[in-house]
Amino acid sequence: MEPTDPELIAAVLRGDQASFEPLVVRYQPRVFATARRYARREEEVEDVVQEVFVKAFQKLGSYRAEAPFEHWLMRIAVRVCFDFLRRHQRNREMRFTDLSDDESEWLDRLGAKGDASPDASAAKQLVGRLLEQLSPDARLVITLLEIEERSVREIAQMTGWSETLVKVRAFRARAQMRKLLGKMQQEKYL
């Protein structure tokens, strides 16, 4: 039988460093999926995931087992991703002329018939570009609230922000996103 999380954590805290490896194996797919929401290049994703596990190892002594290990680890993952976004903030403004033919066509179809599929790769690319334009906190809150559909309380626990701050940042993030979309649309139909 495989050892449980608390058994492995206790072994690591006793000094058995190797017991951390099964924890990495168990949770790395989840951490990779989270990191891929914020980092685009694969080497950046790998660096983020590595940083998450190294931080988890260093802070393992502060884990109180009040919540499952996975929740504690995901909190670290979200914070590391937020730090990554802050370090790699891209300030370049997106212009309509930057859009690929597919993205432009998807927008046209959506405007003309309203039947553009949300599964289209063009839509995914477009939303990726749009998220890159947002400030780090706006991107984090939009990802957690609108894309991963987490509650305000969950986001507050994951980020360490108060619930009021999450709501304020969500409001500002939506406004920022609409402003960007409005600008893009205006540019397109001018």
Partner 1 sequence: MKVTELEKRLLAAARADRPSDRVPYAFEKRVMAHIAALPTVDAWALWARSLWRAAIPYAVAVVCLAAWLHFSAEPMAPADQITMDFENAILVAVEDSAIVF
Residue ranges in contact with partner 1 by CB under 8 A: 17-18, 20-21, 24-25, 28-30, 32-34, 36-37, 46, 49-50, 53-54, 57-58, 107, 110-111, 114, 116, 118-120, 123-124, 126-127, 130-131, 142, 146-147, 149, 174, 177-178, 181-182, 185
* Residue among 90 and 178 whose Cβ is closer to partner 1: 178
Rounded distance between C-alpha atoms, residue 34 and residue 74, angstroms: 8
Smaller CB separation from partner 1, 49 or 166: 49
Structure tokens at 24: 């990495």
Cβ atoms within 10 Å of 110's Cβ, excluding its own = 17
Q: In whole angstroms, how close is the CB of 53 to partner 1 at the nearest point?
A: 5
**Least CB distance from residue 128 to partner 1, whole Å?**
8
- State which residue, 85 or 142, has the beta carbon closest to partner 1: 142
* Distance between CA atoms of residues 175 and 183, nearest Å: 12
Distance of CA 187 to the CA centre of its chain: 29
Contact (Cβ atoms closer than 8 angstroms) between residue 148 and residue 155: no
Residue type (1 letter), 90: R
